[in-house]
A and B are shown apart, each in its own frame.
Chain A
Amino acid sequence: MNGLTFDIAHLLAGSLVLISFMMLYQDRLFALINVFALHAVVLALSVAWQAYIQDAHHLYITAGIALVFKAIVIPVGLHRIIQRLGIHRDIETAVGIGPTMLAGIGLVTLSMVLMLRVTPEADPLAREDLAFALSIILLGLLVMVTRRNAVSQVVGFMSLENGLVLAATGAKGMPLVVEISVAFSILIAFIVIGVFLFRIRERFDSVDVGALDDYRGERR
C-alpha cells in the first residue's frame, strides 16, 4: 500500500471524527441536521475511496446508499418534520458545550488507545479505520445522551450508525448484505421514530422527551 492511498483514507476517516465533534456543539436543530448531512457526504466519500483502493465494486453501492439516503432523503425529511412541528427555534442541549467537548476528546483518546492495543497484528489501514469508527460511535452516543430533543437523539443515533458503516467497509471482504441491512434498518428506525414523534407531539404538544416523564408523574 502506498502512502497516498493510506493518507487519503486516513484524512476522510479523520474528518468524519471531526464532523462528529461539530455535531456536539450545534445547539440549533437545522444546523445539527446540516452537519449530519455533511457527515453522510464524507462517509460516502470515504466508502467510495475504500471501494477504489480495495477494488471492491459493491462498496460503491454502499457509498451511493449513504449519499442518497443519509445525505439527502433523511435530512430533508427531518427538515420537514421540524418545520411541521414548528420547533426550529428550540435550543436544547442538556449538558454545556464545554464539558461535552472535553468528554468527546476523552472518548476519542479512549478508543484510540483501546483499538491500537487490541489490534496489533491487523492491517494498518483497517486498524486506523476501526479506531476512528469506534470514536464516531462513542461520539454519536454522546450526542444522544447530551440532547433532550427526540429529533437530535435520532440524529445522534444515525451518526453512530455511520461509524458502524465505516468500520464495516474498512475491513476487506465484508459482504454487501451487511451494509444494506444496516442501512435499511436505520431507515426503518427513522420512519418508526418519525411516527413516534408525531404521536408524542399529538399527545403532549412537544417533542421534548421530558414530557413523557411528566406524564408518568416523575420529577426530574
Chain B
Amino acid sequence: MSSTVALLLCGPAALLATAILAAAVSRLAAATRLVYGAALVISATLLAIVASHLAGNPGAVSATTLPLGLPFTGARFRLDGLSAFFLVVVNLGGGITSLYGLGYGRHEPAPHRVLPFYPAFLAGMNLVVLADDAFSFLLSWEFMSLASWALVMAHHRDEANRRAGTIYLVMASFGTLALLLAFGTLAGPAGTYAFDAMRTAHPGRFAAGAVLVLMLLGAGSKAGLVPLHAWLPLAHPAAPSHVSALMSGIMTKVAVYGFIRVVFDLLGEPAWWSGIAVLLIGGVTAVLGILHALMEKDLKRLLAYSTIENIGVIFASLGLALAFKANAMPSAAALAFTAALFHVLNHSFFKSLLFFGAGAVLTAAGERDMEKLGGLIHRLPVTSFVFLVGCVSISALPPFNGFASEWLIFQAILRSPELPQWGLKVIVPAVGGMLALSAALAAACFVKAFGITFLGRARSAVAERAREVDRWSLAAMAVLAAFCLIAGILPGLVIDGLSPVTLSLIGDRMPVQMAEPWLSIVPIAESRSSYNGLLVFVFIAVSASLAAFFIHRFASHALRRGIAWGCGFDEAVPAAQYTAVSFAQPIRRVFGGFAFRARETVEMPAPGALEPARLKVDMHDPAWEIFYQPITGAIDFATERLNHLQFLTIRRYLTLVFVYLVILLLVLALWP
C-alpha cells in the first residue's frame, strides 16, 4: 500500500516544479494566471487522491521510504487517518486560495516576489503533513516557514513589513529549535528518528513532560499560543491577503497537526496533568486573542488576532481530550478530539473567507483601517454578504459551522464532573467559562468588524468610490461561504468522516451521526443533548422570510435612507459615526486594565480655547515586553557581536578553526 502516498508525493514535487517555473517566468503578464491555475489543479488533484483513498478504506495506512535524507532512516512518508484529514484541510484551503489568487493576484504590484514562493509554501505544508520521520518533518517545517517568510517580505519596502519579517524569522527559528529538541528527546540515546520507532518506544515520565512542553513551545509558537503569539498579528497581515488566508487559515492548522502527531500519536499514554497545561494555555489564549482583536482597528490584524483565539479554542479542546484519554474515558476523549478537529476544519473555512473579504476590501478601497471604511455594503454587495456569512460563522451562531464545533466542545466540557482528579474537576469548568467568554467577545468583535467596515456611511473618499471585485475572488468566497453553511447544517457528515482519526488515536469514536433521524447530531446520548442544524436553518429561513414578507406587505415598499447609527446627530459628518475604537471602549474599560495595561488620558483645552479635547489611549501587550523583547534583544546582541566574524582575514579564519580543533582535542584529553 505504498502507491497512494507515492502518488501524493508527486503533488509537492509538481508544486516545487511550478515554483521553479514561476521564478523563471514571473515577470510575464500571464504568469499570475499560470501559477495560480497550476496550484489550483494540483491541489484539486491531491484532494481527489485523498478523497478516493478515504472513500476506499479510510483507516488504511500507506507508507513509503525515499532514499534521501538521513542515512539508515531515509525520507519516510506516510498517509494515515490524521494526515489524510489535514491533507484535506491543506489542499481544500490551498485550492480555494489559488482560485482567489487568480483574481486577486492581478492587483499584485510585485508578482515576482509572490509567485515563486506561493507554490513552494503549499508544497511545504503538504510535506509536513506527510512526513514520517523527524528529519523530513523538520526539513519540510523549515521549508514551509521560509517560504511563508519570503511571502511576508513580498512588500518589503514597507518598514513595518520588514520588522514583521525579522520577528517572524526569529520566532520561526525558535519554534524549530524547540521541535528539534522535542524530536531529539523522543529519539532517545539510540537516535531512532523514524516515527515508527518513536511510536513503539515509550519515553519516561520526565522525558514525556519535556516533550510536551517543547511541543507547546515549538508548535505553539507557529500556531500562535499566548505568550508566543506576538509575531502572528504582525506577520500574517503583512503578506498579500490570499497568503494571509493561507497562513492564518491553513499554516496554523499544520502547527496543530504537528502537536497532535507528537502528543497524541508518538508520545504514547498521556499523564493526567498534561491535559491541565494544554487546557489552561488554550483558555488564556482564547480570551486574550479575542480581547486583542476587539481593540484592533486594522481589519487584517483583527482577523489575525481572532486566529489566536480560535487556536486557543482548538488547544483547549485538545487538552480536554488529553485529560479524558489519560483517565480512560475514551468516548469523552473522542468527543473532545472530534470537536477540536471539526473546529480546525471550520476555522480554515471561515478564516480564509474573512481574509479573502479583507483582501477584497483592500482591493476595492485600498484601505485596511476600519476607521477609514464604512458603508461598503452599498458598493460591494456580494462581498459584504459573504463576509457576513463568515462573521456569523466565526461568532458561532447557528446554523453555521462555528456553532456546531463549539457546541461539541461545550458538550465535552459538560462531561468533566466524571473526571476523577480534583484539579481537573476545578479547572475544566473554569476553562469552559473562558471559552464562553471568548465566544461572546468574538461575537462582539465581529459585529464591530462587519458593522464598522460595511455599515454606516463611508468615512473616506476611497471607501465612497469602492467597486465590487472580480469574479474569481467572489467565486472563491462564495464557495467558502457555502462550505460554512453545509458544515453547519450537516455536521454529522464531518463527524462521521473524522471517526477513523479518533479511532486510531483515541481508540474510540463518537456515535454514528448520519444514522440519526432528521440529520441531528447526538454527541453522547439523545437523552442528554442533540442539535439539528438543518432544523435550525429551516426555522431561521422560514421565520426570516415570513418577517420580511410581513414587513414589506404591511409597511411601505419605498426604499428609505435614514442616517445609520446616527447616535442622535442628524446630518452629522461621517466622522461622527460610531468608530471601531469607540465600539470597543466598554470592553476596553472592563478588561484593558489587566490585559493590556491600558491607560486613558483626556486632554481638555483651556477654558475659552477653540481646539478640541483629545482622548488618548495607551495600550501595551505584556507578552511583548516579557517574552519578546528579551529574546529579540539577546539575539540582536549576539548577531551584532558575531557579525565581525564575517570580515576576518583568511589567516584568522584558519586560526579560529585551529583553536577550536585544539580545544576539542583538549576536552577529549582531559575528559575523565
Task: Please report A residues at the B interface, Cβ cutoff 8 Å.
Answer: 94, 107, 110-111, 113-114, 117-118, 138, 141-142, 144-145, 147-148, 153, 209-210, 212-213, 216, 218, 220
Contacts and interface: CB of A to CB of B under 8 A. Distances in A.
A118 B665 CA distance: 11
21 contacts: A94-B651, A107-B662, A110-B662, A110-B669, A113-B669, A114-B665, A141-B658, A142-B658, A144-B658, A145-B654, A145-B658, A147-B651, A148-B651, A153-B654, A209-B649, A209-B650, A209-B651, A212-B649, A212-B650, A213-B649, A220-B649
B665 A111 contact: yes
Contacts of B661: 138, 141
Contacts of A209: 649-651
B649 A110 contact: no
A144 B654 contact: yes
A215 B666 CA distance: 37
B655 interface: yes
B647 interface: yes
Q: Which of B651, B662, B666, B668 has the most CB of A within 10 A?
A: B651
A113 B651 CA distance: 28
A145 B655 contact: yes
Given A141-B658, A216-B647, 14 more contacts: A107-B662, A111-B665, A113-B669, A114-B665, A114-B669, A141-B654, A144-B654, A145-B654, A145-B655, A148-B651, A209-B650, A213-B649, A218-B647, A220-B649
Contacts of A153: 654
Contacts of B649: 209-210, 212-213, 218, 220
A124 to B, nearest CB: 20
A118 B651 CA distance: 31
A199 B76 CA distance: 47
Ranked 8 nearest A-B pairs via Cβ: A114-B669, A213-B649, A145-B655, A209-B650, A141-B658, A113-B669, A145-B658, A145-B654
A216 B649 CA distance: 10
A196 to B, nearest CB: 11
A142 B655 CA distance: 8
A168 B317 CA distance: 62
A109 to B, nearest CB: 9
Nearest to B666: A110
A210 B649 CA distance: 7
B647 to A, nearest CB: 5
A213 B666 CA distance: 32
B645 to A, nearest CB: 12
Contacts of B669: 110, 113-114, 117
Nearest to A216: B647
A20 B668 CA distance: 24
Q: Which of B655, B666, B668, B669 has the most CB of A within 10 A?
A: B669
Nearest to A112: B669
Contacts of A107: 662
A33 B665 CA distance: 29
Contacts of A145: 651, 654-655, 658
A138 B658 CA distance: 8
A110 B655 contact: no
A111 B650 CA distance: 25
A43 B661 CA distance: 24
A106 to B, nearest CB: 9
A111 B664 CA distance: 12
Interface string B633-651: 0000000000000010111
Contacts of A118: 668
A1 to B, nearest CB: 27
Contacts of A144: 654, 658
Contacts of B666: 110
Nearest to A111: B665
A114 B671 CA distance: 10
A69 B661 CA distance: 29
Nearest to B653: A145
A199 B671 CA distance: 46
Contacts of B665: 110-111, 114
A23 to B, nearest CB: 15
Contacts of B651: 94, 145, 147-148, 209
Contacts of A110: 662, 665-666, 669
B269 to A, nearest CB: 43
A206 to B, nearest CB: 14
A138 B650 contact: no
Nearest to A113: B669
Nearest to A118: B668
Contacts of A213: 649-650
Contacts of A147: 651
A110 B658 CA distance: 14
B483 to A, nearest CB: 58
A138 B654 CA distance: 12
Q: Which of A111, A118, A153, A213 has the most CB of B within 10 A?
A: A213
Q: Which of A111, A144, A148, A212 has the most CB of B within 10 A?
A: A144
A90 to B, nearest CB: 15
A153 B668 CA distance: 27
B21 to A, nearest CB: 37
Contacts of A138: 661-662
B221 to A, nearest CB: 38
Interface string B326-340: 000000000000000
A209 B649 CA distance: 8
Interface in B508-537: none
A160 to B, nearest CB: 11
Contacts of A114: 665, 668-669
A218 B648 CA distance: 8
Interface string B226-248: 00000000000000000000000
A104 B658 CA distance: 13
Nearest to A156: B654
Contacts of B658: 141-142, 144-145
Contacts of A117: 669
A94 B665 CA distance: 24
A107 B665 CA distance: 10
A175 B654 CA distance: 31
A138 B662 CA distance: 8
A118 B666 CA distance: 12
B220 to A, nearest CB: 43
A213 B669 CA distance: 36
A212 B655 CA distance: 17
Q: Which of A141, A142, A145, A209 has the most CB of B within 10 A?
A: A145
A113 B667 CA distance: 12
Interface string B373-412: 0000000000000000000000000000000000000000
Nearest to A210: B649
A213 B648 CA distance: 8
Interface in B610-665: 647, 649-651, 654-655, 658, 661-662, 665
Nearest to A134: B665
Contacts of A142: 658
Contacts of B654: 141, 144-145, 153
A46 to B, nearest CB: 23
Contacts of B650: 209, 212-213
